[in-house]
Structure 1
Amino acid sequence: MQYHLDGFRPGDPCVAQADAHTDEKAAQVDVAIIGCGPAGLTLAAQLAVIGGMSVRIFDRKSGPLEVGQADGIACRSMEMFEAFGFVDRVRREAYWVNETTFWRPKAGAEGLRRADRIQDVEDDLSHQPHVILNQARIHDFYLEVMQNAPARLTPDYNRDLTSLTREEAAEYPVTAVFDCLDAPGQTETVQAKYVVGCDGARSAVRRSLGHALKGDAARQLWGVMDVLAVTDFPDIRLKCAIQSASAGSILLIPREGGYIVRLYIELDALHGDERAADRNVSAQMLAQKAQAILAPYSFDVKEVAWWSAYEIGQRVCDRFDDATGPDGTDQPPRIFIAGDACHTHSPKAGQGMNVSMADTFNLGWKLASVLKGQARPALLSTYSSERQAKAQELIDFDRDMARLFSEKPKTPAEEAQFQRYFQTHGRYTAGVETTYAPSQIVGEATHQHLARGQRIGKRFHSAPVIRLADAKPLQLAECLEADGRWRLIAFAAADDDGAPGRGVARLCDFLSQDPRSPVRRHGTADADRVIDTRAVFQQPHRTLDLAAMPPLLLPRKGRFHLRDYEKIFTVTGDDAQDIFDMRGIDRREGALVVIRPDHFVAHVLPLDGLDALARFFDGIFRAPA
C-alpha cells in the first residue's frame, strides 16, 4: 500500500482526503446505480476508487443489509477483494472451504456413509482461498471503501424507482424518478449520463427496457436455513453433499465463527402453477426435514438465524443493456443491468453473488474510461457481449449441477459421476475459468506461446515475486488495484538485467519517448495514471542494480516528484515458486503481458512488439487532442 505521495498525512491511510467539491445529493450525475446488492456496491466502490465522476447509488431498503442471503465467495472474488484492499479482513472472519465430502445411503441398510472426501480447490488454482462469509459483511466492507474514497459516497436508501426514461439529445439522457419511502407522497428526480440496474430478479430497470428473463424453472422446491445446532454428524465442519435413500438431499455449508452452519434442503417438487409460497414452509418444517435426511445422526436445532424457501430456476436475458443495432451502432448503451437483474439460478454452485460482482467489475472501468474521455463509447458495448455469454455458461452449468444434486444415484458409477462433476468443474466454481473472446479489448493468441500460463481473455494468474527495492516477498497480483488502470507487465529475458539496450529498457524507452507510445498518447503528467508499467526479472534480487533500471520503472510522481520504487520485481529464488516456470513465461525471449483494469489478460506480445502494442491501445482509446 502506498500513501504520503502528496505530503505526510497522519491517521488511517485507507481514508483518502475528502473532495470538498462533491455534491452527494446532486440531481444530475454521471452514473446512477439502482440497487445496493453485491453488484451495485462493487460498481459504486470501483467508481469511487477511480474517482473524478459524480455517482449516486439508490436502494428501496431502509438501510444496509444485516443478514445476507449469499455466503459463498469464490477464489476469483477473493482476488477482486484484494484489489479493493479488504481481502485480509475477509480471510480473517470467513470459514475456509478446504475439503468437500460426499455422503450416500448405506448399501442394504438404513443411514448414511461417507462415499468420498476431496480437496475443494486444486493446488495453485489461485493464491486466495474459497471461503464462506455472510453477504452483509461483504456489503460492510464495500460501504467502507465507498465512504473512505475522496467522494465519500454513501447510498440513498428508501428510494423506490418508479420510472426510467431516455432522451438521447439531452446532456443527461436518462431520467430516473423515485418514490421517497421515508417521506410518503414525495418523489425525487435524478438525471444521469448512465444508469446501471443492480436491483435484483424483480428489476424495475429491466422492466423499463422491456427485457425478460428467459428460461425454465426446475419446479423443485428447496429450503435454506442458517442454524446453531447440536449434532453427532461427524462432518458438520466440512462442506458436504448429502444424498439420503428416500428423505431427500442436503448441501451443508459450514459458516464463519466456528458454530453456525447453512443447510440447503431438498423439499418436494412443485406441481402445475404452484409456487414456493403455497407450501407454507416454516423453519420447523426445514429442521424436521434435515433431521430425517441426516438420520440416524441427531441434529438438534437450537437457533435459526435465517431461513427461506425458493424454487430452482435458471433464467437469463438476451442482452444486458439498452443498445440497438449491431454492436450498439444504432443506439449506443446508456442503461445497463447486472447481477440477478439479468441472470438468476440456483445457489448450489455458489455462483450468484460472485458472478454478480464480476458483472459490475467488468463494467465499472469501462464506464470510467468513457466518462473521463479516455476511451471511445464503443467500449461500453463489450459489457453485454462479454457478460451475457458468461451468464449463459453459468445457467448451463447450474442446470446440470442442480439436476445431478437432486438425482438419486442407483449405482457406484452414478455416484462417481456426481463426484467427478464437482472435481472437474472446480475451476469454474472458483471463478477462474471465465474466458472472454477476442474483441477490441482482447487480442488474438498469436504470441500466446510466450506466456502459456497467462491465457489471453482469462484473469491474470498471480505468482510469488520479490520486490527489488525492499526485498519484500509478495504476490504479483498485489499491485493490481481496483483503480481503473491498465497494466503492462514486462517479463524480462534471461540475459536482461535492465541495462540500456536490452529488451526491458528498449520497451521503456519506447513507452516514455516514442510518439506512438500509448503511455505518451493516452497518459497524463504522471506516467502511470492510465497505463501502469512494471517489470519482472529472472535474476536474484541481490544481483540487480536498482539505480541502473530504466527511469520509467522508477517514475517521479506527485507534487514533490517523489520516486516510485514499487514497480520492479524478481523471481523468489525458490525453483518451486518461480513465476517464469509457474506461468510458462518464455525464459529466452521474455514476454509483455497486457492486463485490463478488471485484471483479465488482454494481450501477450513480444517485448519488441511495439507496433502491435500501439495499435492495440489505439483501437480502444480516443485519439489525443
Structure 2
Amino acid sequence: MQFYLDGYRPGDPEYRPAAPGRDESSKGAAALPDEVDVLIVGTGPAGVVLAAQLAEFPGITTRVVERRGGPLEIGQADGVACRTVEMFNAFGLAEKLVREGYWVNEATFWGPDGTRNGSTAGITRTGRVQDVADGLSEYPHVIVNQARMQEYLLEKMRTSPSRLVPEYGVEATGVEVLDDGGDYPVKVTLQREGGDTAVVRAKYVVGCDGARSAVRKSLGIELRGDARNHAWGVMDVLAVTDFPDIRLKSVVQSPAGGNLLIIPREGGYLVRFYVDLGDLDPADRDARKRFTFDSIVAAAQKALHPYTLEVKSTAWWSVYEVGQRIADRFDDVLDAERGTRTPRVFIAGDACHTHSAKAGQGMNVSMQDGFNLGWKLAAVLEGRSPESLLDTYAEERRVIAQELIDFDLRFSTMMAAHPTDPAHPELGGVDPAEKQRMFTEAGRYTAGFATEYTPGLLTRSAEHQAVATGFPVGQRFYSAPVIRLADAKPLGLGHVAQADGRWRIYAFAGAGDPTSPDSGIAQLAAFLGESEDSPVRRFTPDGADLDAVFDVRAVLQQDHRELEVEALPAFLRPVKGPFGLKDYEKVFTPDLKGGRDIFDERGIDRERGAIVVVRPDQYVAAVLPLDAHAELADFFAAFMQPAAALV
C-alpha cells in the first residue's frame, strides 16, 4: 500500500482522515438527509460490498438503511470462494480473511459400506480429492461466517474518508420513481422502529434487502422458479465424534438415511452439518416448520452410523427448503422501455436470485453483484460515464444469476440423491464415484471462476486473445508473481489493484530494449501521456493525479537488475499529490528468481507484447497488441466522457 502522498503523519498509516464535512467520530454519518445520491436498502453481502466501494468516494452522498436493529451477529452463509478472497484483497482485507478462516484443502466422500449387511451396515470412505484444482487461484477456498465477512466491510466503511455507517432499525416500505422528480427522482418511504415514517429522495436506490425484498415488490418484479419440496437442516455445532474426517469437508451418502455435507468451521472446533431431511408434502405448508433441532441431530446421527455424534453446544441452526428463483429483471426499467430511459432502482443479491446453500455460491455471487454495480454508480455520479453505463448491470448480472440457478439445480439434485443399490438398480440414485466426479467437475464453479462476461459495451471480442492467452477476455484477471522494479519487491501483479473505481491498463513489453524511444512501451507511454486521443488525457479531470482514473502498469521482460527506473518513460513515474512526488510503483519485471516468468505463465507474446485492460471489478475487458493505440482509445470512448475539473 502507498501512503504519505499528502504529507507525513504519525500513527497507523492505514488510518485515513475523514473527508471535509464528514463526522470524524463515525457518528452521525448515517443520519438520513432529505436527499441522497445513493440509498442502499439492506446490509447483506451485496449491500455491504456496494457500500464499501461507494464509501471511497466522499463526494457521493451514500446512505445505508437496515431493518434489523444492528449488524448480523450469527452467520448464515459461510463458504468463501477463492474469487471472493481475490475481491477482498482489493479492499485490503484478504490477509485477515485468510488468517481467520478455515481452509478447505481437501474433500472426502463417504458411501455405503458394501462389506456389511443388515443392522451393521454403515458408511465407508470412498474417495478423497483436492478441493480447489491447482492453478485456479493463489488464494484458498475458506470458511468464515457471513457475520464476520460483513463486519470486515462495515469496518472498512466506518474508517473510510466518508465515515459511512448504516442506520439500523429503518425499513423501506415503498419505492417510487417519479416522472417529474428532477435530480432526485426516486421517492423512498421509510419506517423506523417505533412507527415513525420519513421520506427520502434519491438519485439511485439499490435493494439489497433479501428474498422478501420490499424494493423488488415496490417495482412489481416477481421472483420466478420452483420449490423442490425437499428439506435440509443446517446446524453450526461444537460436537464430540469418532467420525475420522470431521475436520475435512465431507460428502456422505448413507444407506441408513439421507445425506450429509460436513463443513468444518473456523477456529478448529466448530463444524457445520447440512442434513438431508427428505421430501416435503407440497400440500402441507407447515411441514418444514415442524422440524426441530433434535430431529436434525437425530438425522445426522443416523446418517453417520456406525460413527457417533454428540452435540455439546449449538451456535445456530435452521431448516430450509431447496428451491431456485430468479427475478424477471434486476432494475426498474421495463423491457419495452429499455433504451428510452436509464435505470434508477436496482436489486442485488437474494433480492433477485435465491437458491440452495450447499454449492456455497449465494453470498459469493451476491457480493459480486455489489462489486459490479458499485464502480458503475461512482463513474456516473462523478461524471466520468453517461447514465447509460448503468444498463450494463442488469444485462451482465442477470445472465450470471441464471447460470447460477441452473448450476445450483444440478448440484443440489446431486447432493440430495440417494446412493444406488446394486441389488435394485431400477430404483435409481447416484453411485458414490459418480458423485465425486460431479463434485470435482463443479470445482471451477464453486471456486467462483465460472463467470465470463460476453462481448458488449464493457467487454471487447477476443480477436486479439493470442497476444495474451492467459488473460481470457471476459474472465477475472488472474494474478501472477512479478518483481517491482524500483525496490525489488516480489508480489502478485493483480494484488496491486484496489477497489477504488479505477480502470487498470497492464502493458506487457515486447522484444527489445524498453528504454529505447522506439520500443513498444515507450510508444504507448507517449501516446497515453501526450496524444489528444489518449483516454488518460481525455477522461482524467483537470487537476487530478495522472492515475486518478486509469492505473497504468508496465511489465518488462528483463531481469529487474538489468534496468534503471529513471531510464524508462517519465509517464511510468507519474508526478502526484500536492508536493509533486513521483510514483515509482508502476513498473514490474518477471520473478525470474522464483522461476515463474509471468510472460510464460500467462501466454504473453514476447515479440509483440500486449495490452490487458481490466475493469474496476477485476474482469478482463480487452486484450490488444501493444501498438493498438486507436483501438484502446475507441474502447474507452464508447462509455466514458470528460469529467468536470477538480476544484
Q: Same fold (TM over 0.5)?
A: yes
RMSD over equivalenced CA pairs, Å: 1.4
Output aligned runs, 1:138-149, within 5 Å: 138-149=149-160
**Pick aligned residue for 1:46 from 31, 48, 53:** 53
Q: In structure 1, what is the Cα distance between the partners aligned to 2:601 and 2:153?
A: 32
Opposite residue 12 of structure 1, the aligned amino acid is: D
Instruction: Mark the CA change 1:235 to 1:276 in structure 2 (over 3 Å): closer, same or farther.
Output: farther
Instruction: Note the alpha carbon deviations across 1:407-460, whole angstroms, 9 max, x for none.
Output: 123179833222111111211111112100101110011101011110111100
Q: In structure 2, what is the Cα distance between the partners aligned to 1:211 and 1:292?
A: 43
Instruction: Note the alpha carbon deviations across 1:193-233, whole angstroms, 9 max, x for none.
Output: 00000000000001011111111111100000000001110
SS of the residue corresponding to residue 577 of structure 1 reads: coil
Q: CA deviation at 1:79?
A: 0.3
- 8 A Cα contact 2:255 2:419, kept in partner: no
Q: CA deviation at 1:471?
A: 0.5
Counterpart residue number, 1:208? 218
The answer to whether structure 1 residue 117 and structure 2 residue 128 are counterparts is yes
Opposite residue 208 of structure 2, the aligned amino acid is: C
* The 10-residue stretch of structure 1 (455-464 or 320-329) with the greater mean CA deviation from structure 2: 320-329
Counterpart residue number, 1:558? 577
SS of the residue corresponding to residue 98 of structure 2 reads: helix
Opposite residue 274 of structure 2, the aligned amino acid is: Y
SS of the residue corresponding to residue 361 of structure 1 reads: helix
The answer to whether structure 1 residue 175 and structure 2 residue 216 are counterparts is no
Opposite residue 185 of structure 2, the aligned amino acid is: P
Counterpart residue number, 2:37? 30
Q: In structure 2, what is the Cα distance between the partners aligned to 1:575 and 1:148?
A: 37
Counterpart residue number, 2:73? 66
- 8 A Cα contact 1:242 1:250, kept in partner: yes
Q: CA deviation at 1:301?
A: 0.5
Counterpart residue number, 1:510? 527
Instruction: Note the alpha carbon deviations across 1:560-610, whole angstroms, 9 max, x for none.
Output: 011111111000004742111111111111100000000100000111101
- 8 A Cα contact 1:486 1:594, kept in partner: yes
Percent same amino acid at aligned positions?
A: 53
Instruction: Mark the CA change 1:140 to 1:159 in structure 2 (over 3 Å): closer, same or farther.
Output: same
Q: In structure 2, what is the Cα distance between the partners aligned to 1:87 and 1:278?
A: 38
- 8 A Cα contact 1:32 1:195, kept in partner: yes
Counterpart residue number, 1:434? 451
Q: In structure 1, what is the Cα distance between the partners aligned to 2:109 and 2:91?
A: 35
User: If the length of structure 1 is used for normalisation, what is the TM-score?
Assistant: 0.98
Q: CA deviation at 1:51?
A: 3.6
The answer to whether structure 1 residue 248 and structure 2 residue 258 are counterparts is yes
Output aligned runs, 1:460-609, within 5 Å: 460-524=477-541, 525-574=544-593, 576-609=595-628
Counterpart residue number, 2:365? 355
Q: In structure 2, what is the Cα distance between the partners aligned to 1:302 and 1:208?
A: 45
Q: CA deviation at 1:50?
A: 3.7
SS of the residue corresponding to residue 397 of structure 1 reads: helix
* The 10-residue stretch of structure 1 (524-533 or 69-78) with the greater mean CA deviation from structure 2: 524-533
Q: In structure 1, what is the Cα distance between the partners aligned to 2:432 and 2:527?
A: 58
Counterpart residue number, 2:634? 615
SS of the residue corresponding to residue 50 of structure 2 reads: helix
**Pick aligned residue for 1:78 from 85, 107, 127:** 85
Counterpart residue number, 1:375? 385
SS of the residue corresponding to residue 322 of structure 1 reads: coil
Opposite residue 341 of structure 1, the aligned amino acid is: A
- 8 A Cα contact 1:241 1:252, kept in partner: yes
SS of the residue corresponding to residue 167 of structure 2 reads: coil
Q: CA deviation at 1:624?
A: 6.2
Instruction: Mark the CA change 1:543 to 1:189 in structure 2 (over 3 Å): closer, same or farther.
Output: same
Q: CA deviation at 1:390?
A: 0.4
- 8 A Cα contact 1:276 1:309, kept in partner: no
Q: In structure 1, what is the Cα distance between the partners aligned to 2:570 and 2:54?
A: 30
- 8 A Cα contact 1:324 1:331, kept in partner: no
- 8 A Cα contact 2:539 2:549, kept in partner: yes
Instruction: Mark the CA change 1:484 to 1:400 in structure 2 (over 3 Å): closer, same or farther.
Output: same
Q: In structure 1, what is the Cα distance between the partners aligned to 2:30 and 2:290?
A: 44
Instruction: Mark the CA change 1:624 to 1:221 in structure 2 (over 3 Å): closer, same or farther.
Output: closer
- 8 A Cα contact 1:103 1:114, kept in partner: yes
Q: In structure 2, what is the Cα distance between the partners aligned to 1:496 and 1:73?
A: 43
Q: CA deviation at 1:494?
A: 2.9
The answer to whether structure 1 residue 340 and structure 2 residue 321 are counterparts is no
SS of the residue corresponding to residue 281 of structure 2 reads: coil
The answer to whether structure 1 residue 446 and structure 2 residue 463 are counterparts is yes
Q: CA deviation at 1:165?
A: 0.9
Instruction: Note the alpha carbon deviations across 1:24-78, whole angstroms, 9 max, x for none.
Output: 4222111000001111000000011244200000000000111110000000000
- 8 A Cα contact 1:276 1:310, kept in partner: no
Structure 1: which 5+ residue stretches go unaligned? none
Opposite residue 151 of structure 1, the aligned amino acid is: S
Q: In structure 2, what is the Cα distance between the partners aligned to 1:379 and 1:235?
A: 49
Instruction: Mark the CA change 1:39 to 1:577 in structure 2 (over 3 Å): closer, same or farther.
Output: same
Counterpart residue number, 2:474? 457
Instruction: Mark the CA change 1:326 to 1:461 in structure 2 (over 3 Å): closer, same or farther.
Output: farther
Counterpart residue number, 1:19? 19
- 8 A Cα contact 1:276 1:311, kept in partner: no
Q: In structure 2, what is the Cα distance between the partners aligned to 1:616 and 1:276?
A: 55
SS of the residue corresponding to residue 135 of structure 2 reads: coil
**Pick aligned residue for 1:268 from 271, 275, 278:** 278
Q: In structure 1, what is the Cα distance between the partners aligned to 2:165 and 2:553?
A: 34
Instruction: Note the alpha carbon deviations across 1:335-376, whole angstroms, 9 max, x for none.
Output: 000000000000111000000000010000000001111101
Opposite residue 176 of structure 1, the aligned amino acid is: V
Instruction: Mark the CA change 1:353 to 1:414 in structure 2 (over 3 Å): closer, same or farther.
Output: same
- 8 A Cα contact 2:483 2:491, kept in partner: yes
- 8 A Cα contact 1:325 1:331, kept in partner: no
Instruction: Mark the CA change 1:522 to 1:597 in structure 2 (over 3 Å): closer, same or farther.
Output: same
* The 10-residue stretch of structure 1 (524-533 or 451-460) with the greater mean CA deviation from structure 2: 524-533
Counterpart residue number, 2:26? none
- 8 A Cα contact 2:101 2:142, kept in partner: yes
Structure 2: which 5+ residue stretches go unaligned? 23-28, 423-429
Q: In structure 2, what is the Cα distance between the partners aligned to 1:252 and 1:426?
A: 17
Q: In structure 1, what is the Cα distance between the partners aligned to 2:604 and 2:342?
A: 39
Instruction: Note the alpha carbon deviations across 1:75-107, whole angstroms, 9 max, x for none.
Output: 000000000001111111100000000100111
How many correspondences in the alignment?
A: 623
- 8 A Cα contact 1:275 1:311, kept in partner: no
User: If the length of structure 2 is used for normalisation, what is the TM-score?
Assistant: 0.94
